[in-house]
Amino acid sequence: MIRELQEGLFAGGSAEEMINSLFEKIRRSRLNAYNHIAEDQALERAREFDRAPWEGRLAGVPIAIKSSISTKGIETNCSSRILSGYIPPYDAHVIERLKEEGAIIIGKTNMDEFAMGTSTETSYFGPTKNPWDLDRVPGGSSGGSAAAVAAGEAPASLGSDTGGSIRCPASFCGIVGLKPTYGLVSRYGLVSYANSLEQIGPLTANVEDAALMMEAISGHDPRDSTSVKSEGGYLSGLYGGVEGLTFGVPEEYFGEGVDPLVEEAVWDAISKLEELGASWKMVSLPHTKYALAAYYIIAMSVASSNLARFDGLRYGLRLGADQDWHTTFSEIRAAGFGPEVKRRVLLGTYALSAGYYGRYYLKALKVRTLIKQDFERALSAGGADLLVTPTMPVPAFKIGERIEDPLSLYMADVFTVPINLAGVPAISVPCGFADGLPIGLQIIGRHFDEAAVLRAAEAYEDATPYHEAVPKEVI
């Protein structure tokens, strides 16, 4: 899609007309995919492009940005009341890279508040709707980013993935979503939820666009101490096929709790990969059963510390006349944070408290090491080159169906959180439908082997029609 769009622009098309058309579509939409539109900034940049087109991998391409990624001069509210009205004075590293490559930032997408959720229902600005069925969730926490791409309200977008927040909405909305290896994309400018787990990544209409976005945003950034140098080359090796590769199929990712139609679609995808010249073998990730518990202890503990900085005293929500510091601080946070954020802050504070730190948090870190070792063994020499699993155990559920049952929501992340604990890359690509709702295939690779992950995803996508399907209820 990005390549065709650029070809049209450089053949005499107008970036301003394209951007205006997108904004008109967004204004008509009932999806609630955006919580802020950068109309003035985007149109000014489009006019500059039309006057003198510039070079760049993303020259003239409109990109939507998750509302937890800092954008200079554009509201970045994390879909939370406590940050409403906050306009950062700086760009995140990935935004700097997108601008260097010629992209046009068109707005900030709706998300679960502070990225805490699986359905984009915890947003202060209301839930985003799934373009395949307006009564269903788009997944989360990057639900707005995914819905916008699926509905044609943006050619591509950026999300962040702490426990599946790119791959989940990609699966539910029938698009491509890539979580890179931890450290491959700078987190500078990403509003932190759980620092050691989260990564920024692309949501796109096809695999080629995901590879192109990765070429643009990956690379070393000295402002992020976890950032590493990137060799890139994601596009150059994209069409190498899967012949000779061995795919591992983790036995723990099938069976109880997986919708039969999801399981059938994923096995059909494995058969398709076999037809393309790959082989597969069953593997085991024995500590998977502990992943959810370890993940939520770690993520909530870190979140309780990270969110202590939001007090409304320097920016964001202010409730009027101040009282003493303790009362003002408490009242702002009580009014500014939603129920799910409060729940995670409380649980995380408890896990870190005296007498429980060793019992919960340290034990979760040890389990994380075991999970990481499971992936290293499964993907070692003589084992599998890549792993394939369902992205989500079920298709998109209805809005309101699980929001009052936090454990049910947390369980939906069962196949995505282990990847964040291990720090390996994973992509979700469409692999079928269940009662008209998209199903995602998750392809997992070795650390910093995004090239192989993307190559396998491209080979599968090229051999199947699912990425070409258009949501029937797009307005």
Catalytic annotation, residues: 66, 141, 165
- Contact present, 409 and 417 (Cβ < 8 Å): no
- Contact present, 149 and 204 (Cβ < 8 Å): yes
Rounded Cα distance between 271 and 42, Å, is: 44
- Contact present, 399 and 121 (Cβ < 8 Å): yes
393 DSSP assignment: S
DSSP 351-381: HHSTTTIIIIIIHHHHHHHHHHHHHHHHTST
How far is CA 378 from each of CA 195, 290, 388, 449, rounded to the nearest angstrom?
26, 17, 12, 15
Q: Which 3 state secondary structure label does DSSP give 67?
A: coil
Helices (H), 11-61: 15-28, 39-51
How far is CA 363 from each of CA 297, 346, 354, 378, 417, rounded to the nearest angstrom?
9, 19, 14, 23, 17
Tokens matching residue 200: 């920024």
Tell me how crowded residue 256 is: count the other CB atoms within 10 A of its CB: 5
Q: Which 3 state secondary structure label does DSSP give 453?
A: helix
Q: Longest C-alpha distance within the chain, in Å? A: 69
How far is CA 270 from each of CA 253, 263, 279, 386, rounded to the nearest angstrom?
14, 11, 9, 12
- Contact present, 170 and 176 (Cβ < 8 Å): yes
Rounded Cα distance between 142 and 66, Å, is: 7
Q: How far is CA 278 from the centre of its chain?
A: 28
- Contact present, 66 and 145 (Cβ < 8 Å): yes
387 DSSP assignment: E
Closest to 179 in 3D by CA, of 392, 462, 380, 419: 419
- How long, in residues, is the chain? 475
